[in-house]
Amino acid sequence: MNIAVLSGSPRRKDSYSVIKRIEEKMNATGDVAFEYLKINEYNVKECLGCLQCIIKSEKLCPLKDDVSAILDKLKKADGLIFASPVYAISITGTMKKLVDRLSYVFHRPELILKPALTVVTTYGGGVRPTQKYLKMMATGWGCNYKGDLSVASPRYFDNSEYYSKKYKREIDSKINTLANRFYQSVVEKNRPVPSLYELYLFQGFKGKSYASKADYDFWKERNWLESDYYYEVKLNPLKKLFANTLEWLIKKAFERYYKS
């Protein structure tokens, strides 16, 4: 199996070392090839804000660089790891620059059911917003989100007496658990029942199709306008009620917005 690692770090240090451990663990289970896509080693130009990709088609983007080649690599991989250190309480600018350029993928998701992990490294703070953003990104692009590994780098990597060994043991145990879960989800290619959060994002992005013909055509072609999720799945009555109510509310909000 091929795993693509999309990394927002400008260096091969903390997040790289954490992912290497996941790679080692997965390779102990089966034959796994990791490809590290270090965004800063690619030509990724800053979005010009013309909105053509969102409104009409990504083919109309005036920028010529490596963005579509990076997306192709993500599409071809069997599983994905999205990794970023915390910079100023968020993902790095390097990563955000790429995500901005791929904004249209939130409207027209292309990574359906691709198992994905997120990895966040930090000196100590900012984990929650960074992890939340990466989870939203993976889910919004259609991935099958399998969990997050957030690591306070000094506490994990420094062997000084200053840090308790318990933290390191806990992270090592989480690496084992997540590596196994990730490996199995790639092998089994299962179609999990979406969480409330996943249903919420699905209905939210479906709402975009009420305002854009490009999105409408894309969603219609895939029969997603009539469905509860990107693939056929049986929702329990509570989730069904949640999804239907949300869909109704979003539709009404769009109608009101465009009629007023």
Ligand X SMILES: Cc1cc2nc3c(=O)[nH]c(=O)nc-3n(C[C@H](O)[C@H](O)[C@H](O)COP(=O)(O)O)c2cc1C
- Strand order across the beta sheet in which 144-152 lies: 33-38, 2-7, 79-85, 115-122, 144-152
Nearest to 254 by CA among 218, 215, 204: 204
Determine if 94 is a binding residue for ligand X (CB under 6 A).
no
Q: How far apart are CA 11 and CA 254, in angstroms?
A: 44
How many Cβ atoms sit within 10 Å of the Cβ of residue 229? Answer: 21
Smallest separation, CB 91 to ligand X (Å): 10
Amino acid at 86: V
Among 4, 5, 6, 14, binds ligand X (CB under 6 A): 14
Give the DSSP letter string of 192-243.
PPPPHHHHHHHHHHHHHTTT-HHHHHHHHHTT-SSSSSSS--PPPHHHHHHH
Determine if 134 is a binding residue for ligand X (CB under 6 A).
no
Please say which residue, 88 or 238, places its beta carbon nearer to ligand X.
88
Q: How far apart are CA 16 and CA 84, in angstroms?
A: 10
- SS (HEC) of 224-238: CCCCCCCCCCCCCHH
Q: Are residues 144 and 116 in contact, defined by beta-carbon separation less than 8 angstroms?
A: yes
Smallest separation, CB 130 to ligand X (Å): 9
**Segment lying near ligand X (by CB under 6 A), choices 97-105, 118-126, 135-143, 239-247:** 118-126
Among 3, 15, 143, 186, binds ligand X (CB under 6 A): 15
Number of residues that bind ligand X (CB under 6 A): 18
Please say which residue, 122 or 185, places its beta carbon nearer to ligand X.
122
124 contacts: CB under 8 Å, gap ≥ 6? 152, 154, 155
Determine if 128 is a binding residue for ligand X (CB under 6 A).
no
Smallest separation, CB 22 to ligand X (Å): 14
Among 71, 77, 86, 171, binds ligand X (CB under 6 A): 86
Smallest separation, CB 141 to ligand X (Å): 22
Smallest separation, CB 170 to ligand X (Å): 17
| Torsion over CA: 173, 178, 179, 180 (sign) | positive
Determine if 140 is a binding residue for ligand X (CB under 6 A).
no
Determine if 30 is a binding residue for ligand X (CB under 6 A).
no
Smallest separation, CB 12 to ligand X (Å): 8
**Segment lying near ligand X (by CB under 6 A), choices 39-47, 84-92, 175-183, 215-223:** 84-92
How many Cβ atoms sit within 10 Å of the Cβ of residue 241? Answer: 11
Structural tokens at position 249: 């509310």
Determine if 131 is a binding residue for ligand X (CB under 6 A).
no
**Segment lying near ligand X (by CB under 6 A), choices 9-17, 73-81, 106-114, 131-139:** 9-17
**Segment lying near ligand X (by CB under 6 A), choices 14-22, 52-60, 207-215, 222-230:** 14-22
SS3 120: strand
Residues that bind ligand X (CB under 6 A): 9, 11, 13-16, 85-89, 121-126, 153
